[in-house]
Amino acid sequence: MSTRSRGGNASRTAALIIVVFGVLVSLGVMGADWRQHYATLSKESARWRIAGPPCRTVSREVFSSTPDPFAISPYATNLKLVYGDLLFMRNSGDAYCEDVMLKDNIWLSTQPVCQFAHPRKVALTGPGGSYYFLTGDGAATVVIPDTGPPTCVQGGWYQRGAIPR
């Protein structure tokens, strides 16, 4: 039989304590970082939760035959915005999109949300298909959820040419 040295167990215990301490510190730092990121996303998402009457959802035919009296080409939707795998088309006004955490969730998942300054009509083409909205005279906001069709409401804080922040 061989005799074990007691000094080896003490150094292993010390190494194990250092590793456990390092893991706990790392978890604490990651938790603080997640909490800060969550707070930032929650604060920003409140600004993007816009209430208003729904935009009118129409067929492609109705959309194409509805003129915009303020556009250079009243029937064309020649202003395009590509955001990720989404294509927005409109015939007037500016646009601004962001990925926003609209629902409080621990995974910090976001959804694309776009605001338009006086677009009058917006077409959206993406993986879920094509959608057509008549937005009226004011601002409009389009939300693209993870599941289900996109939604559009009349309203929003984005103004033509304004850089949001």
Written as six digits, the tokens of 64 are 């194409």
Tokens 């927005």 found at: 88
For 50-96, write each residue's pLDDT tens digit.
888 999 999 999 988 887 766 666 666 678 889 988 899 887 788 88
Q: 60-79 burial by CB neighbour count: b if 16+ within 10 A, else e?
A: eeebeeeebeebeeeeebeb
pLDDT, average across residues 89-105: 79
Please, how many CA atoms are within 13 Å of residue 126, restricted to the half-sphere of its CB?
23
Average pLDDT over the chain reads: 80
DSSP state of 137: S
Residue 152 bridge partners (DSSP): 142
State the Cα–Cα distance between residues 61 and 80, nearest whole angstrom: 19
DSSP state of 10: H
Q: Measure the CA angle with vertex 91, ends 88 and 93; round to 5°.
A: 85
Range in 55-69, 70-84, 106-120, 132-146 the model is least confident about: 70-84
DSSP state of 75: T
Written as six digits, the tokens of 165 are 């922040």
